[in-house]
Structure 1
Amino acid sequence: MLDPANVDSCNNIGNILRSLGRSEEALPWFDRSLELRPNDAMTITSKAVTLAELHRVDEAFAAYRLARATDPGCAAAEWNLALLEMLTGNFEAGWAGREARWKIPALSAYYPKLSQPMWLGKEPIDGKTILINVDEGLGDTIQFARYVPMVAARAARVILCVQDALCPLLSDLPGISQCLPLSTSERPAFDTYCPVSSLPLAFGTRLETIPSATPYLPAPAASRVQVWEERLGPRDKVRVGLVWSGNPMHDNDHNRSIPLRMLARILDVGASFISLQKDPRPDDSATLLERTEIVDLTAELTDFAETAALVACLDLVITVDTSIAHLAGALGRPTWVLLPYTPDYRWLLGRDDSPWYPTVRLFRQTATREYESVVDRIRTELRAMISAGKTS
């Protein structure tokens, strides 16, 4: 039995309830845990995360600061505080605080141990060779690839090392000397390095100074685009790409992904729907076989260069928060992104546009935290778009 007088039990119950999306119910358990063991930085941090998920932002900031005052070495508090700073638009504090990830093994254990100095924008790098190495997910790499030509513009020789599937897409970024797949075991000689996700810090990025011009990715090869045009056939309807789920191993997947059957309500609007979904889950694969309105050519999507070529053939991409949202946005394609009530830091709060991607529209969950109403709003907007296109 669970013992409400046991501090660890109280904390565990709080964390379980929070993971189930029952944040309001989780808070009393964290409070009870803190009554039994006051000044526990990790419990205070868990409470702060929960408050942030409820958009009780001022209380969350206060809790994070209490956790840091209680234990200045609590990297989890530092990291999560940074994410909240980012979410609320305080990039100066947020980028610096995100460097706390190097103190958290779960976030940094796989990054190569390098003896060269890390570059964070302070030292001149003209004439030097810099390694820019991936350190987070596919979407992060695409989002921050915009900074790579800016590094090269400082007269540095740039070696870029990214996930294998991204290598064909990013190898033609301006200023790159080499683009290596992450799977390669050897690195050429270099003088300094910068993790991809530290590039915004290196360039002192603030909300108002985001380098937001798109497209910043190389244009897909015309020959690849033509192949996809031929596969798709005549363009007699608006073409809409669909992505409904992300990486199932992502900590927040349960809030970001939706079942394909939920999108069934938009399939009658008179558009042509094309799946961009790689590795669909079993239930979604079954739905995909039933819904013949969705064209599924994803077996041909062997890397992100191929996906970029397909996206170039579409009029709109509708996606959950996953790498395709970043790809379509970085290509300057019209993109609608479904977001949870408390999204990833990069999408901020309280706005339906993105300062990172001018062609992206954000469709957010309300406090009800369900996606049915989000999909209904998308259906209404999609019908209006199609109608306007037919009458223009």
Structure 2
Amino acid sequence: MNRQERRAAAKQSQRVAPQDLEAVKRSLEAAKRGKLLFDLGRYAEALECFNAFDRINPNVAALYQTRGLCLQRLDRFAEAQADFERSIALNPREAETHKNLGALHSRLGRIEQALASLDRALELRPNFSAALDEKARALWTLQLRGEALVVFRQSLAIDPDNADTTRNVALLLLELGRHAEALESFNAAVKLDPESAALYQMRGVCLQEAGRFEEAQVDYERSIALDSSLAETHNNLGALHSRLDRMEQALASIDRALELRPDFASALSNKAVALSRLQLLDEAFAAFHRSLALDPNDARTIWNLALLQLLTGDFARGWSGREARWNVSSLGHADRGFSQPLWRGDQPIEGKTILLHADEGLGDAIQFARYVPMVAALGARVILEVHSPIRQILAGITGVANCIGRPSANLPAFDLHCPLGALPLAFGTRLDTIPFAERYLAAPPAACVKAWQDRLDDRLEDQLGPRNRLRVGLVWSGNPDHKNDHNRSMALRTLAPLLDCDVQFVSLQKGVRDQDRAFLGERPDIIDLTDQIKDFTDTAALVSCLDLVISVDTSVVHLAGALGAPVWTMLPFTPDWRWLLNRNDSAWYSSMRLFRQPSSGDWASVVDSVRHELEGLVAAAR
């Protein structure tokens, strides 16, 4: 029993008859026992004691506050609220009670009422760190992350050693994608609470999101060593193994998570992804459906299932499910917030202006730009907004009235909009109705092609004499920031067996990595003019000077395919959805051949197959 309660009880005892003093003493003992039981978590017994005190000592504000907390722990929320409000009526200047009432409103989803109570608590006690924490959590619930972060930091300025607040700052920064700052806060939280398994788990997530996979694994394993009963940690470790293509370890960790929590929807979803990558398709579909039965609105699971449906040619379901990408925060697909309506393919657009805007990577924009002539054919005026490196080359597509760079600060007026990636859904595309598979990009201007032809000829004559061999473009790695880069890219050295073929190789590789730069320097027989490439119009012109392009899955293969240029694409064992399974041609580009890994990570077999085919091409050319 605290000092305020004892003072109130003493005043009350002065008003009772001497023969009732024994009852007052018993009530005080009941209050002491109630507080002890409350601290032990024995809330039902504590409540009986508080009720006994209240019968002898009514109108003690502190009692109603404490009993309100007890009722809240027992999930008797209406009674808890009544006690908090009674306490405030008796003592309206007690900041603690306003904070407790605000926390209760917040728990019940009444955020506006919560903020009003918490603001009153902070008026009474401006440096009340617990109230600041509650306010920050309420703002976070409203998705006001920036404001929540400011309030959390105000709380930390008052109580810098609060591990819970430090952890919440770290989690909020992680949610905002500010990984470096989040990691600093996680490190501070771990120092404050070094034996917290949950903290190591969450820091592992941060490290994983930042691409620091080995450190993430160490944190997950440390978390498991501290508390092996946390299913979430086993699930996260499994997802990390899966991302690094360690499927046996991935499934072992995820199955352990499911042993601990059989109804763990996220673990089932991660298991489905791992099974997909092993091409155990029936098992993968079953795991996805079990996960969605438990959590039917999980956007990431819907999206991953859609990718598997598209990979297996089920476009009818896949396009629709793929739209869940807008609700998967880690994919970075932010809603543009246009006031104009979204075009879904079912509204007439004749005479209207429509904005078609790139919503994914460069290759995706090139792939889906094939739908622009179809939109224009419906009578619409098309504004195309795409990334600056591809703006000039895509501006020449039939039906484009105005092509602008993305993002544009001053968009022209338009009536409707549609992301490029949603156009296959809008047109109900099926595997046998993919449009413009032959070509849909016009060749670059003749002057541009000639300029590149001259550059290439000059370099070849300087080094090797007149042209007498096939010219083959090479790309061996993609964007290092792509989440699947470790699977779809390779080191240039891996292509060494191919480089002895009797052809002239020309590098199309932009952004050569450090590990490849030295090897490229050892191979002066690979012509490298990429420092003169300004945008994809230059790349397209250089491709037009070649006999063949050989590349991993990057935007260059989309460019070559859209130009109708011969292109051989080297794919990982389980490729991106657009390349489907078990075929060596592309449904999207008729000039493309596909070379697939026979097992996960086996680039050597791919290079051997490409070398064999290339040698045959050389023999035929002779």
So what's the TM-score if we normalise by structure 1? 0.97
Q: Which amino acid in 2 is paired with 1:54? A: L
Separation in structure 2 between the aligned mates of residue 17 and residue 287 of structure 1, nearest angstrom = 30
26-35 or 90-99, which deviates more:
26-35
Conserved in 2, the CA contact under 8 Å of 1:42 and 1:67?
yes
Q: Which runs of 5+ in 1 are unaligned?
A: none
Alignment of 1:198-217 (within 5 A): 198-217=422-441
Change (3 A) 1:380 1:337: same
Whole-Å Cα distance in 2 between the matches of residues 107 and 162 of structure 1? 18
Say yes or no: does 1:381 pair with 2:605: no
- Tell me how far apart the structure 1 counterparts of residues 478 and 437 of structure 2 sit (CA, whole Å): 26
Partners of 2:325 and 2:333 within 8 A in 1: no
The Cα of 1:368 is off from its aligned counterpart by: 4.5
CA distance in 2, matches of 1:288, 1:235: 22
For the 8 Å contact 1:120–1:194, the answer to whether it is kept is yes
Give the Cα separation in 2 of the matches to 1:254 and 1:316. Answer: 25
1:360 aligned onto 2:574: no
| Selected match of 1:333 from 545, 558, 565 | 565
Whichever residue aligns with residue 12 of structure 1, its letter is N
Which protein has greater RCO, CA pairs closer than 8 Å, 6+ apart? 1
Counterpart check, 1:133 vs 2:357? yes
Q: Percent identity?
A: 54
| Separation of aligned partners in 1, 2:236 and 2:370 | 41
Q: Which one of the candidate residues 210, 232, 257 is aligned to 2:489?
A: 257
Secondary structure, aligned partner of 1:224: helix
Offset, 1:110: 3.7
Letter in 2 for 1:267: L
Give per-residue Cα distances to partners, 1:141-169, cap 9 Å, x unaligned: 00011100110010001000000001110
Which of residues 249, 253, 275 is equivalent to 1:51?
A: 275
Distance (whole Å) between structure 2 residues aligned to residue 20 and residue 98 of structure 1: 24
Q: In the alignment, which residue of structure 2 is the partner of 1:232?
A: 456
More strand by share: 1
In the TM superposition, what whole-angstrom CA distance separates every residue of 1:302-323 from its partner, at most 9, and x where no partner exists?
0001100000110000000000
Paired residue type of 1:246: G
CA RMSD of aligned residues (A): 1.1
* Structure 2 counterpart SS, 1:139: helix
Distance in 1 separating the partners of 2:238 and 2:407? 39
The partner residue of 1:304 within 520, 527, 536 is 536
SS at match of 2:449: helix
Separation in structure 2 between the aligned mates of residue 172 and residue 362 of structure 1, nearest angstrom: 28
Give 1:112 deviation, angstroms: 1.8
Higher share of residues assigned helix: 2
1:237-282 CA-partner distances (Å, limit 9, x unpaired): 1000000000000010000000111112111111000000001101
| C-alpha distance in 1 between matches for 2:518 and 2:249 | 35
2:501 paired residue among 269, 272, 277: 269
The answer as to whether partners of 2:333 and 2:359 remain within 8 angstroms in 1 is: no
1:148 aligned partner? 372
Residues 212 and 355 of structure 1 are in contact (CA less than 8 Å); yes or no, is this contact kept in structure 2? no
Deviation at 1:299, TM superposition (A): 0.9
The CA deviation at 1:109 is: 4.3
**Cα distance in structure 1, aligned partners of 2:610 and 2:437:** 26
Aligned twin of 1:174? 398
Q: Higher Cα Rg: structure 1 or 2?
A: 2
Whether 1:184 and 2:408 are equivalent positions in the alignment is yes
SS of structure 2 residue aligned to 1:186: coil
Task: Give 2:490's aligned amino acid.
Answer: I
- AA paired with 2:379? A
Task: Confirm or deny: 8 A CA contact 1:42 1:76 kept in the other structure.
Answer: no
Question: 1:111: how far off?
Answer: 4.4
Whether 1:65 and 2:289 are equivalent positions in the alignment is yes
Given the alignment of the two structures, is residue 160 of structure 1 paired with residue 384 of structure 2, yes or no?
yes
Q: Tell me how far apart the structure 1 counterparts of residues 282 and 479 of structure 2 sit (CA, whole Å).
A: 31
Report the residue type matching 2:388 in the other structure.
Answer: D
Tell whether the 8 Å contact from 1:91 to 1:205 is kept in structure 2 after alignment: yes
Q: Deviations over 1:74-120 (max 9, x none)?
A: 11110000000000000010001101111112234444221111111
Whether 1:315 and 2:547 are equivalent positions in the alignment is yes
Structure 1: how far apart are the matches of 2:494 and 2:524? 15
Matched pairs, number: 390
1:81 is the counterpart of 2:305: yes
The CA distance in 2 between the partners of 1:7 and 1:213, in whole Å, is 47
User: What is the CA–CA distance in structure 2 between the aligned matches of 1:194 and 1:235, rounded to whole Å?
Assistant: 47
Q: Secondary structure at the match of 2:595?
A: strand
Output the TM-score relative to the length of structure 2: 0.62
CA–CA separation in structure 1 for the residues paired with 2:427 and 2:321: 15
Q: Distance in 1 between matches of 2:448 and 2:607?
A: 32
